[in-house]
Amino acid sequence: MSEKIDLGTFVLSEDDEFMSASQRAYFRAKLNAWKNDILREARETLGHLAEESANHPDLADRASSETDRAIELRARDRQRKLISKIDAALQRLDEGTYGYCEETGEPIGLKRLDARPIATLSIEAQERHERREKVYRDE
């Protein structure tokens, strides 16, 4: 669909058929914008890390710089994993399975998808999953 979606003004409507063409276009635009923001931030981080790699003569400055670098790299690794989830969501959009719970096949819900566009489980299925996870973790 070539419809251009303005993320700032588009309003999701529960009255529309679930995963209508305009809803799919909205979520595609939202996922792509999110991915582009992450990639832009990653490029900025790489530039910052390259500039910051200067050797600090003071041990405290060097330790602080290395700590900052480690934190930044961990954040980038989380972002890398997030990009793969965004790509998977875009793939589901292409396949026509986006917005449906992987466990039950029921619609996930527009509010949940708007808040968490990479969601693969309905709220109920996610809660069951988290309860099972807690039980196994507590054992």
- For residue 107, the Cα-to-chain-centroid distance in whole angstroms is 19
The pTM of the full predicted model, rounded to 2 decimals, is 0.78
Mean pLDDT of the chain, nearest integer = 86
Confidence bin at 54 (pLDDT 50/70/90): low
Which helix H or strand E contains 2, and what residues bound it? none
Residue in this structure with the two tokens 């973790």, named with its chain if needed = 137
- Does residue 30 sit in the same domain as residue 73? yes
Which pLDDT value is given to residue 139?
63
Q: Using the 8-state DSSP alphabet, how is residue 53 labeled? A: T
Which among 31, 32, 37, 36 has a CA at the least distance from the CA of 119? Answer: 31
Domain that holds residue 133: 99-138
In a 3-state reduction of DSSP, which class is residue 10?
coil
Query: Are both 125 and 71 inside the same structural domain?
Result: no
- For the chain, what is the radius of gyration of the CA atoms? 20
Q: Assess whether 94 and 120 both reside in one domain.
A: no
CATH number of the domain to which 71 belongs: 1.20.120.910
pLDDT at residue 115 in the model? 94
